[in-house]
């Protein structure tokens, strides 16, 4: 009898027995399986676009035509305006813009304000300084009473420190007259071009104490962004 051949045939047949697992697909003894969407009656899912994400809320910003100074105490918006008047007039005009006369935090701010004022100045005939914030301290009524950087203080509610001060020559001089008393307000000198001096031969961008009743044709306003 040919027992070896008979056993071999049984082994081969058992290796190809099809196992119907009842799940709609077919499993073969070699470990492979087959199925299709046609056999299951399934169809590919249609692609659905993801909903767009809403834009994050925008933080406070300065108006487009105002300069933005990024200070450690928060951003500060500044613009130079044309308008002839005293320091009191300039302050009232700033209020109409939701602002106040601005101080200068550092030399960079002072230079940028002076350069912006130059453009306004030249468009209106030149020769003017620009009003800024700053009030003479009561304990410093004359020049010798206090050191230059201690003579004035900022009152705009945002500017701090003394890094923005730059006094040329003998300033702040604290000049006095019987009508207006001490010079208790501040201006920045503005020249018409690089390499030229401003009023009284002082450099462009330098500061000067001034009688608040004096009239100038420009003022610099500052406010928090909104």
Q: Where are the domains of the chain?
A: 71-223
d(CA 208, CA 174): 10
Token pair belonging to 212: 């608040």
Token pair belonging to 101: 């006369």
User: Model confidence at 56, in pLDDT bands (50, 70, 90)?
Assistant: low
Summarised one tens digit per residue, pLDDT across range 73-130 is 999 999 999 999 999 999 999 999 999 999 999 999 999 999 999 999 999 999 999 9
181 beta partners: 177
Structural contact between residues 187 and 208, judged by C-beta atoms closer than 8 angstroms: yes
User: Model confidence at 155, in pLDDT bands (50, 70, 90)?
Assistant: very high
Cα torsion 183, 206, 150, 76 to 10°: value is 100
- pLDDT (mean) for 17-36: 43
Give pLDDT, residue 10.
Answer: 35
For the structural domain made of 71-223, what CATH number should be given? 3.10.100.10
Structural contact between residues 28 and 43, judged by C-beta atoms closer than 8 angstroms: no
């Amino acid at each position: 009898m040919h027992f070896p051949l008979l056993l071999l045939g049984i082994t081969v047949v058992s290796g190809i027995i099809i196992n119907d697992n009842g799940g709609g697909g077919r499993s073969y003894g070699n470990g492979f399986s087959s199925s299709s969407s046609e056999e299951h009656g399934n169809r590919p899912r249609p692609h659905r676009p993801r909903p767009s994400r809403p834009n994050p809320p925008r933080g406070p910003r300065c108006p487009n035509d105002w300069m933005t100074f990024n200070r450690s105490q928060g951003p500060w918006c500044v613009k130079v305006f044309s308008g002839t008047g005293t320091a009191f007039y300039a302050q009232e005009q700033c209020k109409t813009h939701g602002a106040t006369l601005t101080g200068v935090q550092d030399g960079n701010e002072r230079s940028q304000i002076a350069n912006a004022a130059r453009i306004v100045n030249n468009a209106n005939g030149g020769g003017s300084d620009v009003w800024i914030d700053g009030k003479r301290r009561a304990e410093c009524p004359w020049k010798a009473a206090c050191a230059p950087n201690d003579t004035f203080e900022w009152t705009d509610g945002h500017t701090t420190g003394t890094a923005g001060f730059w006094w040329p020559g003998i300033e702040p001089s604290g000049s006095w007259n019987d009508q207006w008393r001490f010079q208790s307000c501040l201006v920045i000198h503005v020249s018409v071009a690089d390499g030229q001096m401003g009023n009284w031969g002082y450099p462009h961008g330098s500061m000067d104490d001034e009688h608040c009743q004096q009239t100038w044709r420009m003022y610099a306003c500052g406010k928090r962004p909104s």
